[in-house]
Structure 1
Amino acid sequence: MSKQKLNFAFIGCGGNARGHGRSVSGVEDVEIIALADPSESSLEAFKENVGLDDSIPTYADHVEMLSAAKPDAVVISSPHGLHFQHIMDALDAGCHVHTEKPMVCTVDHAKQVMTKVEDTGLHLMIGYQRHLSSTYQYCRNVVQSGELGRVNFVAAHQSQNWYRNQQGKWRQDPFLGGGGQLNDSGSHLIDILLWVLEASPDTVFAMIDNLDIEVDVLTAMSIKFDTGALCNISIVGHAYGGVREAFSIWLEEGALHLREGKLLRQEQSGNPEPVDESEMPASGNKDVAFIQLIRGERTENPIGVENGLRVIQLTEAAWQSAELGRAVKVDLS
């Protein structure tokens, strides 16, 4: 049986978008029909990298593209501060939306997007791919099943050579980046913490250092959840090498430790042991999952607008705490 034909367009054609482009173009009966980016070199690099014909229409203005091409769905991979307008324009044009993280950069914008999604009935998915990772799915299942008891403490760490690598680029621009490292790669860590625990943050205390730039580079954050669980998050944007992550959950009857993609499980009476891949759920591709969602082959949105709202609610509270120099309540209204 043939699949529903879907026409895709891209808003933002930089390096990140090209990975999406290769995934999307590899799905049966999905065609990329238009590209929008103010940079001609980015448009040309996208076409070459994804293997698209030179005849594909390209636009400097995304609104013009949406009107002329009339795609079924768009992938948004533009600077963070532009996400809100790009999302709203795409939804107004009747398009399903797959936006890169963070969804938006303010709680007010997140609530407006949520209302628009509800009003239009269209799908919006966010590029927090850890929801589809076998290791994090396993951690969520263990926590939610209660098989190791309640969560007592979580420690999460992320480091990256962000400060040096992004000098002079849009990610360190206060508007275009929508914040610093905390709202960039760090938002992945906040998102997966909230998703695995499925608990509401009650109070946060954060200390932040911008070093000599306008946005945050280093963040030390402590959180208390409504379940009583405590958490420490470290976002280190002034490090060496690529992205490094560590994630540990201590529960009443054991612990889970994720180190560089390797998952260890510790029972109360034993040592940490590797979790065999056969015991984990299958991993998924976020672009494929988005297409399945549109086609009705997936009934539940794995990374919906509510996830984007929760991330920015906690992020804004952390920024507020650092500015005030004290713990603050997280506004979840």
Structure 2
Amino acid sequence: MSRKLRLGVIGAGLKAAEYAASWARMPEIEFVALADTTPSSRLRLIDVCVAAGAPAPRSFDDYQEMLASCRDDLDIVYVSTPHAFHGEQATAVAEAGLDLFLEKPMVTTVAQAERLIAAQKKSGVTVVTAFQGGLSPLVIDTRKRALAGEFGDLVAISGMIWESWSSNYDGHWKQQPEISGGGFMFDTGAHMMNTVCLLANSDFESVSAYMNNHGKNVDIATAVSARLKNGALATLTAAGDGPPGCASYITFFYSKAIVRIDAWGGWREISVGRTNEPREEAEILGNPMKNFLAIRDGTMENTGSVEMGLRFARLWDAIKESAAADGVPVKIAAP
């Protein structure tokens, strides 16, 4: 039997604790170390590992100390911290020569994405961003079929996502711009933007955007109109206030077909000509570590690559710039 892959965790919050319950039971994984600035979060994650029958991982309050002390005892690091810390922490992991599984969104700016790409290319490590949609079998299949030309040319994209996010996260770090990197569009809306970036198979060329904070310190509602380099047009709407719940609908209009899918890859509907195929459904991933390991082994396409993260970052920077200028179009420089 091959040696277990040794895992370190940066950020021991609720998402890490949720995943740890299954990861600690995986025969391929050995929890080695964790880092978090909050003692109670560290203790909670340790308790989850022990309850799963795994040894207690080493605990650090500083991720840099964890990387320095455990570098030779680690193979993989999972980063699950507030968005604004991703760039620095992810780059440090890549520079340490460790494979990285990074919570979404990858980074908050294009500059951070470029630094991470440089570190990844120098070290040659695997970097995957943990978007459920990007790892969904329905999204991956749609991407393959679109690239093969089955649906024809992409003409337009219409995407929307909504959630009772404003009240759900009132007072939460997600509504503190200095550590969240944005509001609803950059948090839940990131799932929509990433799935669009992945399936569009094109960078964006020009973006016009409006935001409304609805009394909060971050955006609650966002409307985007854009043109892609392949000529397709796109509209994206994010509404972070409303009745309880969360949902997304993205429609890709091709010259030969119409594909409807949600941001997380939970369902898909395809219309070809006058024929509407039955809705397909897939379970939204509860243990994406299996997908990460498949990507690491080379048996699955890396749909959460640093290059895809850069496409996302270019779109997000353009949305912020345009919204700050009251919708003035922003042209995205060619890669």
Structure 2 CA distance for partners of 1:292 and 1:25, relative to 1, 3 Å: farther
Stretches of structure 1 that go unaligned for 5 or more consecutive residues are: none
Partner of 2:307 in structure 1? 306
Scaled by the length of structure 2, the TM-score of the pair is 0.90
3-state SS of paired residue (1:108) = helix
Task: Quote the sequence identity (%).
Answer: 27
Q: How many equivalent residue pairs?
A: 327
1:214-234 Cα shifts (integer Å, max 9, x gaps): 221110111111222111111
Deviations for 1:73-95, whole angstroms, at most 9, x for unmatched residues? 11000011111121122223332
SS in 2 for 1:141: helix
Q: 2:324 is matched with which residue?
A: 323
Out of 214, 218, 227, the position equivalent to 2:217 is 214
* Counterpart residue type for residue 61 of structure 2: A
2:14 aligned with 1:11: no
CA distance in 2, matches of 1:91, 1:330: 27
1:84: which partner in 2? 87
Task: Report what 2:35 is aligned to.
Answer: 36
Q: CA deviation at 1:283?
A: 7.8
* Map 1:1-333 → 2, pairs under 5 A: 2-50=1-49, 51=51, 55-70=56-71, 71-258=74-261, 261-270=266-275, 272-275=276-279, 286-294=288-296, 296-298=297-299, 300-325=301-326, 326-333=328-335
- TM-fit CA distance, 1:72: 1.5
Contact persistence 2:154–2:254 (CA under 8 A): yes
Question: 1:39 is aligned with what amino acid?
Answer: T
Q: Structure 2: 5+ residue runs without aligned partners? A: none
**Normalized against structure 1, the TM-score is what?**
0.91
Contact 2:7 2:30 (C-alpha < 8 Å) held by counterparts: yes
Partner Cα separation in structure 2 for residue 252 and residue 29 of structure 1: 44
Kindly indicate whether the alpha-carbon contact (under 8 Å) linking 2:82 and 2:180 is maintained by their aligned counterparts in 1.
Answer: yes
1:300: Cα distance to partner?
4.1
Question: 1:291-310 CA deviation, whole Å, 9 max, x = no partner?
Answer: 2344x353643311111111
Shift of residue 174 of structure 1? 1.2
Q: Distance in 1 between matches of 2:65 and 2:143?
A: 42
State how far apart, in whole Å, the 1-side matches of 2:111 and 2:198 are: 21
Q: CA deviation at 1:169?
A: 1.5
Q: CA RMSD in A?
A: 2.3
